[in-house]
C-alpha cells in the first residue's frame, strides 16, 4: 500500500500498516541520537515539500527527515511561485511531477486537495494536512509517542479535547487510535462537536470531568482564537475555565495519564503554563518523534526494503 | 565559450555550441529515469539561484538540476534580502560572488541585468530570464523537446503564436531554431508583433491559418491577462477566438505537428483544455527536459569534461 | 568554551579563544580556493538558520559555510512560520530544538533574544546579530581580514566611524579588537555616540580628522537613512560631508591604512563610490572571510577536533 503510493489519510490504513510504520519509526528514533544523524537510504531521491499553507513544524520536520535519509529536499512554498500568476494548483503539481520527484508532500487548507493532486501525479503523495480532513503524520507520531510511554495502544483510553469539528488532528487520531484498539473519547463546547461524531465510533462529552475519567492519554487540541471570538464560543477565558487543562483538572484522569498537544500551545488556554512545559506532558517528545516518523514513512513510501537492511 | 563563462542568451551561441548542449542534455535525460538520480559531477561546487522575480518552474528546475549533479544549491530570493535596505543589485551580486560560488543563475524583470551583473562577477552567470530580452534555457529545452519528437531541427517549420513583442521566450526561440536551420514564423494580434521583427529573419503573420500552414511545431506563448485588459487587445475572449489553439484549428498545421507552451497555460485562452493536457502537446516533456537541459548546461559551464567521463 | 556551547558575543571570549577561531578560519580560507570546496567534517550534522530578521549576507554566508562542511542546513525564516499564529519565540526555538539540530544560528532585532533562547535549548546557539547588542561573527571576520592585511592585531589603531550607539557591529568590534591588544577609537555625530562609551575602553571623537590621525584601520558603519531623517542628525548630505570617507579624508589616516565596511554600503554617504569599490578598501575580503570564519566557528562549536585532523 505505502510503497510507491504515499499516504493520504489514516482512514485508508490497515492496522498492520500502522504497526509497520510505528515499528520502522521506532528504529529511526535511534538515528537522531547519533553524532552522524544520516543514513544513505534515499540518496539520489528527490522530495518536494509543496506547502500551500505555511507551517513551522511540519515542513521543517519533513525537510530534516528527508535530509537524514540523504534525500534531496526541495521546498516549494506557494507564495513565491507562479501561483501569483493564477496557475492552477493541479498544473503546479503536474509541473513539479514532470521533474521526476520521488515523493511530494502536500499541505493545503482545503480538504481533499492532496487526494485530487495524487490522482494525477506519478510521484507518491504524502498528505501533510488538508483543511479539517486529515493530518496523518501527526496522528502517527502521536501514536508512536503514546506507544513509547505506555508500551501498548490496545486497550488504552484516549481523550481528545477541543475544537473537534474543525480539527484534522482529531480526525486522524480518531481513526488511528481506534484502529489500534484504543477507546477514543472527545470533548469540547457543543458548537465544536460535530453532530454525527459518534459515527466514527467515539463517544462525545461536554464535561471535562467525564471525558477525563479513566483516561490514559489526554490530548488537547489547539484553539483558533479567531474562532473563539466568532460565534462558536463566548470567550477565550470561558474556554480556558471549562476545557483548559491544569494539574487540578488532570486529577480526573488516571494517575499516570500523559498530556499531549500538537502545538503550538496557547499557554493558559488549552494547557496551563506549567503543563505546557513539564511532565506528564510529552509535547517535545511528539516533535522529536515527528522526525523519526517521517523518516520511516519516506523510507516505506520511497525506499526499497533491501536498502535499509544493507545499511544496518 | 560556455566553460567558466556562463550563458546570457542564445544570440551569443554558435550552432555547434547549441549542438553540444543538446547532445549533453540528451545524455542527462537518462539520469532522471534512474532510482538514484544523482551523479557526483559537481560535488563541492556551489550554485546560487539569484531570483529577483518569482518563478515556479525555472528556479525549482535549476535547483533540482544542481542537486542531481551533487552541487550545493543556495536559493537567494530578492524579497528576503537586504534589498529591502535598498542595496543595489550589483552590490548584492558582488557580495554573493565574494562567497566564491561556481555559478550564479539570475532572473530579473529588466532586460540586460544579467549581462550587467556578469560583467562584474568572477563566477559565470546563467540568464534565467531577463525582461523581454532572452530566456535561453527555455529555448534550449524547447529545442531538445522538438529534437526528441522529430529527430532533427534543420528544415522544420516552427510557428510561434502570441505576444511576440513582449516575450523573451519568443526571442530566444527565434534565435535558436533559426541557428539550427529551422524556418521560424510568428503570429499574433498586430499590437503584439514588434514592427521590425523580420530583421530577426522570421516572417510575421496576423492570420492563424496562414502561420500554421505546413508547421511541424506549434508553440503558443503565455498571454499576460493584465496586458489584454489594457490597450493591446480587446479581450481575452477575442484573443482566444482568434489565436487560441484547439484541435480544429490545429488541422491547419501538418498532421504530425506537435504543440508546445512554456507554461503555465491559461486554459481556454492560448490552448484548449483538451490540448493543454493531451498529445500532440508535449508540455510536460518540456518541463522534464528542463531539468536535463539545465544539468547539461551547469556541467558545461562549471564542470570539467574529464569529470563526467570518469563517472560513466 | 565553544565546543557544544555556541557563541553569543565577543564579550564572553578570552583572547586565546579568539586566536583559536582566527587560526582555524585562516586554515578554512584555503578550502574556498579549491575546485571541490567541501570537506566531510560535519556530515550528518544539522544546522538550523533561525532568522527573525531578514539578512542577505549573514544567512547565506552561514548556509554556504555549513554546506562546505557537508552539514545539512535548514533555513527557517520567521515570516513563513507559525509565528503568524502568534507562537512565542521560545516555543518556536524549543520545537526546532526537539528535532535535534547540532547548532542553531539566530538573528533577532531585539538585543538578548539569542541568549534567552540559548538558555533553554540543548543545541548550541550562535548569535548572528541581536538588536544593538552584538554581532560576533562580523567582528571575528573583521579581525581575520585585518590580520591578513597587517599580520598582527596587537598595537594597531582601529577607528570606527558612524552610528556607534545603535551598532552591534561596533560593540562586537570594540570588544574584539580591544581584547587582541588594538587601540579602538570611535567617532560620529554627538547623537550617535553613547554617553558612557569610554567605559568600554575606547576614546570617542566628534572630529573625523582626529579619529583618523594615526589609524591603521578605518571602519565605516552603515547609516540607517531612516534614522538620519529622524531626530538624530540633520541630513544625509551633512553626514556625508562630515563623516563620509573619501580619498582626501583618508589622508588623515596612516599611509597604509585599510578601509572596511560591514555592508551594504550607502555609496556617497559612508564611503565615496571610489572607495567602496577599490583598494585600500577590503569590503569583499570581509565577505569572503565571512564564509571561512563561519566554517571555523561551526567546526569548533559542533565538530570534534579529531574529525578535521583525519581529513587533512
Domain ranges of chain A: 6-134+287-305, 136-282
Is some CB atom of chain B closer than 8 A to the CB atom of A311? Answer: no
Match domain A6-134+287-305 to its CATH number in 3.40.50.300, 3.40.50.1370, 3.10.20.340, 3.30.110.30: 3.40.50.1370
B38 and A72 in contact by Cβ < 8 A?
A: yes
**B284 — contact with chain A (CB < 8 Å)?**
yes
pLDDT of residue B310: 39
Q: How many CB atoms lie within 10 A of CB B109?
A: 11
Give B9 to chain A, closest Cα distance, Å.
Answer: 23
What is the strand order of the sheet A203-205 is part of? A203-205, A183-187, A157-161, A217-220, A258-260
The DSSP secondary-structure symbol of C101 reads -
Q: Are B98 and C67 inside 8 Å of each other by CB?
A: no
**Partner-chain contact C37 B44, CB within 8 Å:** yes
Looking at residue B304, what is its pLDDT? 63
Say yes or no: A32 contacts chain C, CB-CB below 8 A: yes
**Residue scoring higher pLDDT (B249 or A84):** B249
Q: Give the model's pLDDT for residue A1.
A: 64
User: For residue A215, what are the contacts with CB-CB under 8 A and spacing of at least 6?
Assistant: A157, A158, A159, A185, A252, A253, A254, A257
Structure confidence at residue C66 (pLDDT)? 98
Residue contacts between B and C (CB atoms, under 8 Å): 79
Cα separations in angstroms, A16 against A180, A202, B72, B244: 9, 21, 40, 52
> Could you tell me if the ipTM is greater than 0.90?
yes
B268: left (phi over 0), alpha (psi -120 to 50) or beta: left
A296 to A17, A140, A303, B171: CA distances (angstroms):
12, 11, 10, 48
**Is any Cβ of chain B less than 8 angstroms from the Cβ of A100?**
yes
DSSP letters spanning C106-124: EEESSTTHHHHHHHH-SS-
User: Is C67 within 8 Å of B46 (Cβ atoms)?
Assistant: yes
How far does A307 lie from chain C, in Å, by closest CA? Answer: 18
Asked if C44 and A38 come within 8 Å (Cβ–Cβ), the reply is yes
Q: What is the grid cell recorded at B208?
A: 492563424
Q: Does B268 touch chain A (CB under 8 A)?
A: no
Count of beta carbons in the 10 Å neighbourhood of residue A309: 8
- Write the CA distances from C107 to A36, C129, C287, C298, integer angstroms: 26, 5, 18, 16
C171-226, pLDDT tens digit by residue?
999 999 999 999 999 999 998 999 888 889 999 999 999 999 999 999 999 997 66
Answer whether B44 touches C (CB < 8 Å).
yes
B83 pLDDT higher than 80: no
pLDDT along chain A (312 residues), means of 10: 90 97 96 89 96 88 98 84 63 95 96 96 97 97 98 98 95 98 96 89 96 98 71 77 97 98 94 96 98 98 59 38
| Cα B96 to chain centroid, rounded | 25
Whether residue C152 lies within 8 A of chain A, CB to CB, comes out as no
Query: Of the candidates C44, C82, C91, which has its C-beta nearest A55's C-beta?
Result: C82
- Could you tell me where the DSSP H helices lie in B40-193? 57-68, 89-97, 113-120, 136-150, 168-179
Mutation target for B interface from A63, A69, A85: give the one with most B CBs within 10 A. A85
How does pLDDT run across B268-290, given as a tens digit for each residue? 999 999 999 999 999 999 999 99
Q: Does B94 touch chain C (CB under 8 A)?
A: yes
B67 to A74: CB separation less than 8 angstroms, yes or no: yes
- Number of CB atoms found within 10 A of residue B190's CB: 10
Fold of C6-134+287-311: Rossmann fold (3.40.50)
Interatomic CA distance for residues B242 and B203, integer angstroms = 19
From the CA of A111, how many Å to the nearest CA of chain B? Answer: 23
Q: Which CATH fold topology does A136-282 show?
A: Rossmann fold (3.40.50)
- Interface contact flag, C95 A64, Cβ < 8 Å: no
Q: Is A287 in contact with C82 (Cβ distance < 8 A)?
A: no
C136-283 matches C6-134+287-311 in CATH topology: yes
Chain B contact for A98 (CB, 8 A cutoff): yes
Which chain A positions have a beta carbon within 8 Å of C98's beta carbon?
Answer: 284-285, 287-288
Q: Supply the pTM of this predicted model.
A: 0.94
Residue C85 at interface with chain A, using a CB cutoff of 8 Å: yes
Distance between CA atoms of residues B253 and B275, nearest Å = 14
Instruction: Please state which CATH class domain B6-135+289-311 belongs to.
Output: alpha beta
Q: Is A81 on the interface with C (CB under 8 A)?
A: no
Q: Grid coordinates representing C66?
A: 555549513
- Give the per-residue pLDDT at C53: 86
- The answer to whether C288 contacts chain B (CB < 8 Å) is yes
Considering CB atoms only, which of B80, B99, B100 is closest to C54?
Answer: B80
Q: Are B286 and B129 in contact (CB under 8 A)?
A: no
Beta strands across the sheet bearing C6-7: C6-7, C125-130, C103-108, C46-51, C72-77
Element containing residue A308 per DSSP (H, E): helix A305-311
Chain B residue numbers with beta carbons less than 8 Å from the beta carbon of A98 are 284-285, 287-288
- Classified as helix, coil or strand, B79 is helix
Q: Is the pLDDT of residue B232 over 70?
A: no
Whether residue A229 contacts residue A218, with contact meaning beta carbons closer than 8 Å, is answered with no
Say which of B44, B95, B101 has its CB closest to residue C263: B95
Residue count (chain B):
312
Determine the straight-line distance between the first and last CA of chain A, rounded to whole angstroms. 24
Q: Closest approach of chain A CAs to the CA of C79, in angstroms?
A: 9
Question: In terms of CA atoms, which chain C residue is nearest residue A68?
Answer: C44
Whether A91 and B54 lie within 8 Å, measured CB to CB: no
* Interface contact A226, partner C, CB < 8 A: no
Query: Could you tell me the CA-to-CA distances from C309 to B27, C23, C39, C303, C312 in Å, in that order?
Result: 39, 14, 11, 11, 5
What is the tally of helices (H) and strands (E) in chain A? 13, 10
Query: Subunits that touch chain A (at least 3 Cβ pairs < 8 angstroms)?
Result: B, C
Please tell me the predicted confidence (pLDDT) of residue A309.
38
Query: Contacts of residue C46 in chain A, CB cutoff 8 Å?
Result: 37, 64, 67-68
Pairwise CB contact (< 8 Å): B100 & C37? yes
A99/B35 touch (CB, cutoff 8 Å), yes or no? no
| Ranges in chain C, pLDDT < 50 | 82, 84-85, 305-312
Q: B136-286 adopts what CATH topology?
A: Rossmann fold (3.40.50)
Q: Measured between alpha carbons, how far is residue B62 from residues B51, B71, B164, B295, C37 in Å?
A: 11, 11, 25, 8, 20
Our CA-based measurement puts residue A36 at a distance from the nearest CA of chain C, in whole angstroms, of 4
Q: Chains with 3 or more CB pairs closer than 8 angstroms to B?
A: A, C
CATH number of C136-283: 3.40.50.1370
Cβ of C31 under 8 Å from any chain A Cβ? no
Tell me which DSSP letter residue A301 carries.
Answer: H
Cell numbers for A239, please give them: 474556554
> In chain B, which residue's Cα lies nearest the Cα of C37?
B44
Cβ of C265 under 8 Å from any chain B Cβ? yes
Residue of C nearest to A294 (CA): C99
Per-residue pLDDT, B307: 43
Closest-CA residue of chain C to B75: C60
| Cβ distance of A291 and C43 shorter than 8 Å | no
- Put simply, the answer to whether B57 touches A95 (Cβ < 8 Å) is yes
Instruction: Note the pLDDT tens digit of each residue in B14-26.
Output: 999 999 999 999 9
Contact status of B33 with chain C (Cβ, < 8 Å): no
Amino acid at each position: 500500500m505505502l510503497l510507491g503510493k504515499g499516504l493520504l489519510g489514516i482512514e485508508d490504513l490497515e492496522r498492520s500498516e500502522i504497526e509497520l510504520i510505528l515499528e520502522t519509526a521506532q528504529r529511526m528514533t535511534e538515528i537522531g541520537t547519533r553524532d552522524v544523524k544520516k543514513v544513505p537510504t534515499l540518496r539520489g531521491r528527490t522530495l518536494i515539500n509543496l506547502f500551500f499553507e505555511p507551517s513551522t513544524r511540519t515542513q521543517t520536520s519533513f525537510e530534516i527527515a528527508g535530509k537524514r535519509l540523504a534525500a534531496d529536499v526541495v521546498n516549494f512554498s506557494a507564495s513565491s511561485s507562479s501561483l501569483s500568476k493564477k496557475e492552477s494548483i493541479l498544473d503546479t503539481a503536474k509541473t513539479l511531477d514532470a521533474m521526476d520527484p520521488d515523493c511530494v508532500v502536500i499541505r493545503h487548507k482545503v480538504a481533499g486537495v492532496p487526494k485530487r493532486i495524487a490522482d494525477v501525479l506519478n510521484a507518491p503523495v504524502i498528505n501533510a494536512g488538508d483543511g479539517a480532513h486529515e493530518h496523518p503524520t501527526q496522528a502517527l507520531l502521536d501514536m508512536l509517542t503514546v506507544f513509547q510511554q505506555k508500551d501498548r495502544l490496545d486497550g488504552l483510553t484516549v481523550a481528545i479535547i477541543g475544537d473537534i469539528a474543525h480539527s484534522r488532528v482529531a480526525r486522524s487520531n480518531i481513526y488511528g487510535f481506534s484502529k489500534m484498539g484504543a477507546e477514543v473519547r472527545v470533548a469540547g463546547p457543543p458548537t465544536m462537536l460535530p453532530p454525527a461524531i459518534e459515527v466514527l465510533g467515539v463517544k462525545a462529552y461536554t464535561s471535562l470531568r467525564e471525558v477525563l475519567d479513566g483516561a490514559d492519554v489526554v490530548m488537547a487540541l489547539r484553539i483558533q482564537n479567531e474562532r473563539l471570538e466568532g460565534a462558536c464560543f463566548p470567550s477565550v477565558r470561558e474556554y480556558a475555565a471549562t476545557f483548559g487543562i491544569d494539574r487540578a483538572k488532570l486529577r480526573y484522569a488516571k494517575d499516570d495519564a500523559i498530556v499531549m498537544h500538537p502545538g503550538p500551545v496557547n499557554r493558559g488556554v488549552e494547557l496551563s503554563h506549567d503543563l505546557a512545559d513539564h511532565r506528564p506532558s510529552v509535547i517535545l517528545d511528539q516533535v522529536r518523534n515527528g522526525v523519526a516518523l517521517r523518516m520511516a514513512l519516506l523510507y516505506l513510501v520511497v525506499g526499497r526494503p533491501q536498502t535499509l537492511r544493507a545499511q544496518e
